[in-house]
Structure 1
């Protein structure tokens, strides 16, 4: 079954229904060759969903690393991923950036504007997530984090002036169907398909993304 978000500039944003976190994490490792690692999870405390980290004021309840050594814990092995989620089936699915992909993080409003522009330009997109924090993350080839500031400057923008961040080594993104507290689940704005297995270089996407973020200020 597919869940859609109405009144957006993409026709459908599929969300996997019925697939467990374990099955999905294994599929990311097996089919996409993405490293995965289990994050925190949600627990009912006094009838309220709280993060397993124990912080009542957690900014991303149920969707951040559970351990300080998360980067070393991340694995591309489907067997190891299965073992990790068998130990904690409720753990969120987190994907480290700077390995098989980097991610360009922009506000949801700018992301949808950029998607529409990219479609008109007939650009090839990689997967794109839409998270409950109203941010979109565009998957691109690794190395984007080092390129983005200069690319933005070449387009005539000051990097600090745009709400556009490149996530590379040392960062991560939450993958569908991870949930953020009571705000909902991460979804695919552009889901992984055989057609987008080969990711675009950030140089191909930076112009529509920067333009959209500039319009969104």
Structure 2
């Protein structure tokens, strides 16, 4: 599917999702829209063809204001981007590692019960094989993960694409939707502990994925 086949449907779907995130105080901003196999925006002379913010100075302009968000999606099927470092940070990992972390999180939640070591939270996935764990903001990466090629932390000054944004390879989707966990966020270090455990129990022969496959960049 290409956005230019049914733009009104795509625009409405994206706008509704952006409004829902803003309603829960997640700062959103419009991204460039997919035009064939590349992204386009109205920034004069913009050389970026991959997913990127459509606003100049996006760090200052990301918003939760309903009227502002509705206006952004009135004309264009913008990608939905979430600014990180405010309402939440994102821990981005390869899907193979993410699957093991999510399985461990579900096991801990089931064994320890509600309110004990709450490690479950929203998890999104990109069609490029990257999983994004939304966690409480502010905590840096643990020393064991600082030099890992598999783990990227998105904090202040960064962003991630949110469902149902479409990339050339397919849709960004929820693995664990925010509604499934009542829009709650887990402790970052609790999730990082599970990532560390999963990294050091990596099956032999499993390759590392380079940091270049990260979904987003700390771009202006």
Q: TM-score scaled by structure 2? A: 0.75
In terms of mean alpha carbon deviation, does 190-199 or 165-174 score higher? Answer: 190-199
Cα 1:176–1:114 shift into 2, 3 Å = same
Is the contact made by 1:50 and 1:56 (CA closer than 8 Å) also made in structure 2? Answer: no
**Matches of 2:47 and 2:62 in 1, distance apart?**
26
Which consecutive segments of 4 or more residues in structure 1 shift more than 4 A?
53-57
Deviation, structure 1 residue 163: 1.4
**Pairwise CA RMSD of aligned residues?**
2.3
Residues 92-128 of structure 1 show CA distances to partners (whole Å, capped at 9, x for unaligned) of 0000000100000111110011111111121431111
Task: Please state whether the residue corresponding to 2:105 is helix, strand or coil.
Answer: helix
d(CA) in 2 for partners of 1:110, 1:195: 21
Gaps of 5+ in 1: 1-16
What residue in structure 2 maps to residue 23 of structure 1? 16
| Separation (CA, whole Å) in 2 of partners of 1:112 and 1:55 | 36
- Cα distance, 1:43 vs structure 2: 1.4
1:103 matched to 2:96? The reply is no
Quote how far apart the aligned CAs of 1:193 are: 1.4
Relative to structure 1, the CA distance from residue 35 to residue 85 in structure 2 (aligned partners, 3 Å threshold; closer, same or farther) is: same
What SS is found at the alignment partner of 1:121?
Answer: helix
TM-score, normalised to structure 1, is 0.76
In 1, the alpha carbon distance for the partners of 2:28 and 2:48 equals 26
- Secondary structure of the residue that 2:102 maps to in structure 1? helix
1:43 match: 35
In structure 2, runs of 5+ residues without a counterpart are 1-9, 110-117, 209-220
Is 1:168 the counterpart of 2:168? The answer is no
Which residue number corresponds to residue 174 of structure 2? 188
